Structures are given as C-alpha cells and as structure tokens.
Structure 1
Amino acid sequence: MAAEPLPGRLTRGAIGGLVSGMVFAGATMWFSSTMPNGKAEMPLHMIASIVQGGKEAIMAGQTSVGVGLAVHAALSIVFGVVFGLVTPMLRTNGTVALVGTVYGGLIYVVNFLILSPLLFPVFGDANQPFELFAHLVFGTLLSFSFYGSGVRRNEGFLAIGSAERAPAR
C-alpha cells in the first residue's frame, strides 16, 4: 500500500493539529480557571506574549486573547503538518498513536524545557505537570487524524479482527 499523497497528509495534519490544539487550549483554559486566583484567559495571554512582548506585556495589559488564539492555532497547525510528514514511516495505527503521544511530549520538552527558559520565561509560571499532560493529549489526539490513512488504509481503527475490509459496493 502506497503512502498517502503529500497534500492529503498536510491537510490531515493541519486540520488535526487545529482541532487538537483547540481541545488543548480549552482544557488549559479550564485548568487555569480552577486555580486559586486563576483566570481562564491567562494561557492565551501567555501565548500572545510570544509576539506581543513577553511577561512585561502581560503585566501592562498589552496582550490580546485573540492574538493568543491565533498564535496557538498557527503553532498547532504547524505541529500537525510536521507530524504529517512523518506518518508514511508509521505502519500501524498503534504506532501512529504511540509516536503521536511521544511527539506531544517532545513538543513539551522543546517548548517548556529548552525555549521557554531562554526566550519566553513567562511559561515557567505554567503548571508544568499539567502542561506535559496536555501536550501528550495533543499528540495523541493529533495521531487520530492519521488513523486508517495511507499505508494503514486497510487497518481497522482499533486493529481488532480481520485486517481486510469488505469490498466497496
């Protein structure tokens, strides 16, 4: 079975990344609102600070929820597209799920443990265990957009039972 054509994979990645990213943002906003003195929009202000001037901009009230949503959506799409470039090497849905989850963890490591201390220290204020969890969920949800595509086309969603599908009528 041949790999899914590149435009299809990029589209799956973009849509999967966007949907997974919005679930991620919603969960993070909910979590933030449950913290003492927490505000649901704070994660979006933190993300907006990437392009709007860092922690100082947050403190001065110069960050925007809309900019935070746009930046988060754009990053989620980019991460989804990058994952789409890797999927032809993944031969089973289980491998896609495993690699997707690891990919989410890798995004966390790069963003929070490498880039944040160097470039975006405001992200050090985030709840790190929750951020790791949310990134793992992002990667897992993203992987679902590649189930049954390309080389995995004949594999059932859970790969239970026969690998062959009934012929189309």
Structure 2
Amino acid sequence: MAVTADRRTDRPEHDLASPPRALVLRLGDWISRGSIAGLAAGLPFLLAEMGWATHKGLPGVAPMLDMSTIFHGTDKPTMDPMKIPADVVIGFVTHLNLAIAFGIIFALMTPLFRNGLVLLGAGAAYGVLLYVVNIQILGNTVFEWFTSPMIDQSFQLFIHVVYGLLLVPFFLGTVTRLRASAA
C-alpha cells in the first residue's frame, strides 16, 4: 500500500468515508441486511397482529385475510370457506414481501444516521411513517378495509412503531463502523 500523509488510505474501510459512497459501494450488503431485518421484524409484527385479532374475538388468521385484500385489490376479506385457506397463504406471502421491502428501504436510509440514538429515533419515526402512508393515506384511498372501524388504529400505530424499532438492531454496528471510518 502506498505511503501517504493520510494514513486512512491503508484501511479497506477508507472507501466508506462518506455515507453516500458507502451506500453505493455496499448496496448488496444493505439490501441483504434490510431483507433479513425486514423479515425478522415482520414476523413478530404478524404474531402480534394475530394475537391482537384473537384478543378482539377474531380468528388468528384474520391479519392474513386482511393482507390478502392488498393482493386481490378487494374491499374486504373473503368469507368464502373455499377461498379462505388460499387467502391465508396469499396474505402471509404478501405480508412477508412487504416487510422485506420496507426493511430494505430502511436499510438504504441507515447510512444517513450518525449514531445509535439517531438510528433508534429513525426506527420509531419510520414505523410512524409506515403507519401514516400505508394505513392512513393508502387505507383511505386504495385499501379502505384497513381504515374500517373493525381495525384498531391505536394498535396499528403501536405495532408499526414496534416494527421500525425491531429493524434498528440490525444496523447498530453498521452505523457505528460507518461513522468510525469517516472520522
């Protein structure tokens, strides 16, 4: 390695000196980490939704039936006993894919956060943003079932914030390393 006045050039992480450059150089890493984080946060999210549904006297599969309306573009879940098993699977797959996609989006934003505390706040804010966009905006314009009186909006806000916070641990070390290499 060349000897220069800047000793950082000898370190491989020197290429990560700026957050935008880190994003470009490590795009595959960010997408992979975001996919895993989204899946890991999406499964407890779904379990909590299922638990809340049973607490409210609904079947545990109700959240998957709700999610199937996104795939089908329908106003409400099917009540046809012949279609329910397929719609449970469709809703589950739809939920997991959205959780992964939202995890990737969060991952691509993490190089912008300078430390763990900011990342924690960003995770909570991201959960609120997901709730506002997915439930309040899209739910009032495209997927109206998600704003029906049967859906507890306070729980929806809470669980979306939890989803955002569950993403954070997957990026704490990365944000710390990015900042250390930029110093």
Kindly state the Cα deviation for residue 100 of structure 1 after the two structures are TM-superposed. 1.0
Equivalent of 1:39 in 48, 59, 77:
59
Decide whether aligned partners of structure 1 residues 53 and 86 sit closer, same or farther in structure 2, where only a CA change above 3 A counts.
closer
Decide whether aligned partners of structure 1 residues 107 and 88 sit closer, same or farther in structure 2, where only a CA change above 3 A counts.
same
SS of the equivalent of 2:173 reads coil
Kindly state the Cα deviation for residue 40 of structure 1 after the two structures are TM-superposed. 1.0
Residue 169 of structure 2 corresponds to residue 144 of structure 1: yes
Kindly state the Cα deviation for residue 153 of structure 1 after the two structures are TM-superposed. 2.2
Kindly state the Cα deviation for residue 51 of structure 1 after the two structures are TM-superposed. 1.3
Q: TM-score under structure 2 normalisation?
A: 0.78
Decide whether aligned partners of structure 1 residues 42 and 71 sit closer, same or farther in structure 2, where only a CA change above 3 A counts.
same
Contact 2:66 2:77 in 1 (8 A): no
Q: Tell me how far apart the structure 1 counterparts of residues 178 and 139 of structure 2 sit (CA, whole Å).
A: 41
Kindly state the Cα deviation for residue 7 of structure 1 after the two structures are TM-superposed. 1.1
Query: Which letter maps to 1:118?
Result: T
Structure 1: 4+ residue segments shifted above 3 A: 59-63
Q: State the identity as a percent.
A: 34
Residue 30 of structure 2 corresponds to residue 9 of structure 1: yes
Residue 118 of structure 2 corresponds to residue 98 of structure 1: no
Trace 1:108-127 onto structure 2 (pairs within 5 A).
Answer: 108-125=131-148, 126-127=151-152
Q: TM-score under structure 1 normalisation?
A: 0.84
Contact 1:46 1:55 in 2 (8 A): no
Aligned-CA RMSD value: 1.9
Equivalenced residue count is 154
Kindly state the Cα deviation for residue 148 of structure 1 after the two structures are TM-superposed. 0.7
The structure whose residues are more often helix, as a share, is 2
The unaligned stretches of length 5 or more in structure 2 are 1-12, 17-21
Q: Which residue of 1 aligns with 2:68?
A: 48
Query: Which letter maps to 1:153?
Result: R
Which protein is bigger by CA-based radius of gyration?
A: 2
